[in-house]
Chain A
């Protein structure tokens, strides 16, 4: 089983979002970067499958040099080697092009990633990669078992889930509860330092350009209703907020 896991380096879920340079750049000051939470699930499942079936797990990050701490953590969790495509991932098509270019050089049985990155939330890179490679893509996958060359999966759909079977190779966008998050142990952290990390340059170009960022308008004060008059809420929702 040869698995490629694509990971993002993203601001921590509690990070305060702000911008600099006339609202054209994300303000990284004071922000902690983490592995994308969905990518963490993909990586954990990949390591579980490797432990069960043998094979290798390669981590791929499309990102700048400062994402190497996230890559090292993935290696500490159990990936064997890593590739970083040296660029800022700003556009879905461009990012997918980098992944498909790397993936086309090896015969991966599975290409796993999170259902979406938590910075841009597009959730389209897995589909783009699948199309670029000419293989099926599925997301969000919440259960994955491998039986020979067949993958048996459960995918979340609106209001429920569906069971799916498909032959490898596949591109999958993952989410909980596909695996338990793994935490690196001391031995993992020590060995991660010497595992191979290859840096390659990107190909192609962005199809979209972000001109500026804005923050949502601040919320007005919360109108408090005394518990003994709770029924008033329904009237206010109808006459004032006009949502009922």
Chain B
């Protein structure tokens, strides 16, 4: 009845979203009176992986074959399937991400497992195994019963409130056999933005829209983001106009974020944009138009000129 948590390594460290998944998985194991094992694939030090212990894990399986350096979907799903078999796991937990979704989907195909994505809370085990998921891009929720023996749950950011214990986990090397066919897909180049904070992982996000009038004005957005330690984001028109890269576009057809704080500057708040941000804990809207629909979805609002307000907020943050 054990639980396994699939985690991702980025730059030698376990991703923050993955550590949240570890905490979630350990909580599920406790509810079932069972144990939880973490699987980490890729290059990371033992000390770094042992940090999963602070999120409740006792054991980390570490697969570190050189061929697993890039996020290879087929190979990763085979490694995960081997770990599930070794541990006799019934429940697989992971944080939703482009790699996690892909790996989890293939695992579901291998195990004939039920798979539910965008889960927002711990499961309800009082009658069957029920989870709550976000649907219609954050506009509603569904309570879903998972009926198969094997279950895969991809959680949304902030699905659980993490309490760190400071404990460490034991790390075991894990080297399942890999098939050549797992490596049929070749990654020939990777282009990553130099900014250190990834948007889907960020607790704080500063986002801007067409109200900024042009890409040359993004300095004031970046300054506030840097002062806060926030990621930057943008609306769809801004990405369509190529003012900002596509991976910063939040909304219905872009990235969906659920940070603790989302600051929107010069974004009117079309329903498609709101869909991508409406599960943020706190939303701040800064717009010169008092009738901007975004104010209806905001917790705090300032009617004013973004070119005046943003630099003043940056100054106020730096003064903290």
Q: Which residues of A pack against B, CB within 8 Å?
A: 11, 13-14, 17, 19, 37-38, 91-93, 96, 118-132, 136-140, 142, 155-167, 175-177, 206-216, 219-220, 222-227, 230-231, 233-238, 241, 243-244
Contact = CB atoms under 8 A, between A and B. Distances in A.
B102, B112, B143 pick with most chain A CB within 10 angstroms:
B102
Nearest to B135: A120
A14, A121, A176, A177 pick with most chain B CB within 10 angstroms:
A121
A148 to B, nearest CB: 15
Given A123-B105, A220-B299, A233-B284, 7 more contacts: A121-B137, A122-B118, A137-B73, A137-B106, A166-B186, A207-B115, A216-B278
Interface in B287-305: 295-305
26 contacts: A13-B275, A17-B136, A118-B136, A127-B73, A130-B105, A136-B74, A137-B73, A138-B102, A158-B97, A162-B70, A164-B185, A166-B186, A210-B142, A210-B145, A215-B141, A216-B279, A219-B296, A222-B285, A222-B295, A225-B301, A227-B303, A227-B308, A234-B313, A235-B316, A237-B284, A243-B281
A138 B70 CA distance: 14
A186 B115 CA distance: 42
B98 interface: yes
Given A14-B272, A210-B143, A227-B308, A164 B316 contact: no
A139 B102 contact: yes
Interface of B: 10, 70-71, 73-74, 77, 97-99, 101-110, 112-118, 130, 134-148, 154, 184-193, 195, 198-201, 203-204, 228, 246-247, 252-253, 256, 260-261, 271-272, 275, 278-279, 281-282, 284-285, 295-305, 308-309, 312-313, 315-317, 320
What does DSSP make chain B's interface, helix, strand, loop or mixed? mixed
A93 B201 contact: no
A159 B146 CA distance: 33
Contacts of A214: 140-143
B261 to A, nearest CB: 4
